[in-house]
Structure 1
Amino acid sequence: MSESKISNANFPDEIICDVLSRLPVKSLLQFRSVSKHWRSLITDTHFIKSHLKKAESISSHHRILVPVSPILSLDYNVSPYSISSSTELDCKFIKPWNSGKLLGSCNGLVCLIDGRKDISIYNPSTRRHFKPLQSSQQAVRHSPNESYQTEFVYGFGCSSNSIGPRVFRFPRFARDSESLVYDFIDTVGTFLNGSLHWLARYSNNDGEHRVIALFNISQDTLSDLSLPPHRPHQPVLPYYALGVLKGCLFALCDGINHTGIEVWLMKEYGVVNSWSMFIKIPLDNGIGYMRPLSCVNDDEIVLEIDLQSYAIYNAKTKTLEHVKSVHNLKWFGDAAVYVESLLSPEVSCVLY
């Protein structure tokens, strides 16, 4: 069929765009070659936003990025108990990766930092990357007389009224507008609802407190949220990880005597009283660490186990089944869930 016949088909652009917006990125990249008109539709900013919005609600468009070498993109939706659909991503722009780290994902983009402390923004779906900040620009010292480099924590996210993410970098000890100094525990922030979140601690006349340090991207402000409340007649359990599950902020803590982990969800964002224990997962068979990544359905949760494997926990049957993979993942560090997107990786970097 000639390009003129495709362009003059009896389908309004609105219908064509609606159909195309439900397709995976791989198909859309191929369909850009159908005609100049289709290329124009698929590369349009409004279409990219529409596709992203739909992809976020379609679980088959979600994948796990595993920071091994080469980096892997895993599809856990084809068969949750056997991750056989995986893609090796040749990220030659990251060197060396054996000391690299994922700094988060947002709108289909992932933020990576390599062993030289160079930051890269990467779209695993389009294979495009961008380096907003080089290591030579990061050597910030407290004063000319100090011989050590400032410790930093990082965040990657966007404001609630924009799809364009930014990279944020804070000193480990950061001050809010009321001169309260937070000592960040997390080195990587969790992005949700236009804000970045880190576990942190601060001290005052009442002693040391552990909270969630919150940076509102739109308002450019640093504040805090309370962790789930301490329950009467039980010892204080340390919260050691944050994340997002079912669209809610979650906090992890050890169970009593390290027998399991408790996953607490903030059902209503920003409302401390909405903290609720979502699930308790037993730690057995030598497992020392686990972290929820995503929900396969209402009952099954994908877990990262000891930074080297995956498992599916069924909340209804209370069973844990390890996931088979075609790759020997070995030790890989924290993975990240991302959504397929056409978004450009060219983002800005903000230093504080």
Structure 2
Amino acid sequence: MEEIQNTNPAEIVASIDHLLARILSLLPLKSLLRFKSVSKDWLSLLTNPLFCNLHYPNPNPAVGLFLPSADDHQLFDYVPFSAKESTSPPFRKPEFIDDISGVRILQSCNGLLLCCSVDRYYVYNPTTNSCSELPKPDERTGILNGISLGFDPVKSRHYDVVCVWSLQVDCSDNSQFLIGIYSSETRSWRLCGDPFAAMVNFDKGVYWNGAIHWLGIGEGESLYFNIDNQVLDKMPMLPLRYHRNSRSDYFFGQSCGHLHFIETPCSTIQFDVYEMKRDYSEWFVKYQVNLTPVVAANREMIWGHINPMGWYNLVFSVFTVVCGEHEEDSFLVLQSPKKII
């Protein structure tokens, strides 16, 4: 007891990991980034997946958008979702790549970014400002048709990158594909399963529920690939009012553990937000959206004339769906001419 009485109270708190973690979890992200340089112990604590879960009780929350700068293709602008959050981005120009052609962000997955520059691919963590270049897979495998990132900090600090190769040059209905996985734990590629036929947009994979998901093209089946089990399976059909070939304007993505699909034909001001059940039994209507007040306040969204039935043609796209901790906290992010709404 004598030793404790002669010890500074701050030192006592700092020596109790779970108490220190609880206190640090109340601080904003910007402060946590600075505190990582206090000591090796604090760095280890703040990068621990268990601390991430404590700091964000809502799994994998979306906090803002990275957007290519209109002034310089090598720079990125940042739009925070909360007015309390700093508008200063973790980075404006990724310094980990020395390439005059710049870098593109292909995918964001629970805090990690999958980036590319020419024919090189990187996984970048803007929170820790760390980057890993992926080793090139064997080019004899085939033509790269799609690459997707899978990362869940609740399950593991390691990530996986799923590649889909086309085994033939043409894109006919009988095209054969092969899946490969890169693991950050083993730092190696491995091929999974046998070649398969598909009519799928492998260029836009979405990670959710431990799997990468792809939408079918035309009459093709939508597929998902479970990374842990290495099983490829079909997704339920989308109950859409429009023909499947009209999928030129749609949103497909996940937010805080929910997978969503939105079809937005340019002639409609009302649409449904579909959500997939976690057991893959069906899609269901999660939200019904009416943009009438939004369009009334943003007339630049109207293209052409207005007919007696309402707005004739609208110029907008759904950028993302953001699920809040409560239903009333959820919102849509729309992109219209010269504006993010």
Which TM-score band applies after superposition, normalised by the shorter structure?
0.5 to 0.7
Greater relative contact order (Cα < 8 A, sep 6+): 1
Tell me, yes or no, if the aligned pair for 1:103 and 1:111 is still in contact at 8 Å.
yes
| CA distance in 1: counterparts of 2:78 and 2:285, whole angstroms | 32
Q: Alpha-carbon deviations, 1:310-337, whole Å to 9, x = none?
A: 11xxxxxxxxxxxxxxxxxxxxxxxxxx
| CA distance in 2: counterparts of 1:175 and 1:32, whole angstroms | 41
**2:210 aligned to which of 168, 171, 194:** 194
* Percentage of matched positions with identical amino acids: 18
**2:264 aligned to which of 216, 240, 254:** 254
1:123 alignment partner in structure 2: 125
How much does 1:169 deviate? 1.1
Matched, 1:168 2:162: yes
3-state SS in 2 of match to 1:53: helix
Q: Alpha-carbon deviations, 1:150-206, whole Å to 9, x = none?
A: 1420110136842321222112553696865123224131111111111124xxxxx
Matches within 5 A, 1:258-273: 258-260=267-269, 262-266=271-275, 268-273=277-282
Tell me, yes or no, if the aligned pair for 2:115 and 2:122 is still in contact at 8 Å.
yes
3-state SS in 2 of match to 1:164: coil
Tell me, yes or no, if the aligned pair for 2:144 and 2:165 is still in contact at 8 Å.
yes
Aligned amino acid, residue 197 of structure 2: V
Q: Alpha-carbon deviations, 1:124-159, whole Å to 9, x = none?
A: 1222222123xxx357246xxxxxx71420110136
Task: Identify the range of structure 1 (153-162 vs 293-302) with the bigger mean alpha-carbon deviation.
Answer: 293-302
How many pairs align? 282
| CA distance in 2: counterparts of 1:54 and 1:155, whole angstroms | 27
2:254 alignment partner in structure 1: 244
Tell me, yes or no, if the aligned pair for 1:175 and 1:182 is still in contact at 8 Å.
no
2:65 alignment partner in structure 1: 64
How much does 1:299 deviate? 6.0
- TM-score, normalised with respect to structure 1: 0.66
Aligned amino acid, residue 226 of structure 1: P
Matched, 1:85 2:87: yes
Gaps of 5+ in 2: 1-6, 167-175, 180-192, 296-300, 304-314
| CA distance in 2: counterparts of 1:7 and 1:178, whole angstroms | 58
Tell me, yes or no, if the aligned pair for 2:316 and 2:337 is still in contact at 8 Å.
no
4+ aligned runs moved over 4 Å, structure 1: 58-61, 95-100, 175-180, 234-237, 281-284
Q: Choose 1 or 2 for highest CA Rg.
A: 2
**1:292 aligned to which of 320, 323, 336:** 320
Tell me, yes or no, if the aligned pair for 2:259 and 2:275 is still in contact at 8 Å.
yes
| CA distance in 2: counterparts of 1:154 and 1:307, whole angstroms | 29
| CA distance in 1: counterparts of 2:127 and 2:210, whole angstroms | 23
How much does 1:274 deviate? 4.5
| CA distance in 1: counterparts of 2:273 and 2:316, whole angstroms | 19
Aligned amino acid, residue 209 of structure 1: E
| CA distance in 1: counterparts of 2:25 and 2:76, whole angstroms | 27
Q: 1:309 to 1:181 in 2, by over 3 A?
A: farther
Q: 1:300 to 1:8 in 2, by over 3 A?
A: closer
| CA distance in 2: counterparts of 1:307 and 1:117, whole angstroms | 31
How much does 1:302 deviate? 3.7
How much does 1:215 deviate? 0.9
| CA distance in 2: counterparts of 1:267 and 1:57, whole angstroms | 22
- TM-score, normalised with respect to structure 2: 0.68
How much does 1:218 deviate? 0.6
3-state SS in 1 of match to 2:33: helix
How much does 1:228 deviate? 2.1
How much does 1:281 deviate? 4.8
2:224 alignment partner in structure 1: 214
Tell me, yes or no, if the aligned pair for 1:140 and 1:150 is still in contact at 8 Å.
yes
**1:106 aligned to which of 103, 106, 109:** 109
Tell me, yes or no, if the aligned pair for 2:239 and 2:283 is still in contact at 8 Å.
no
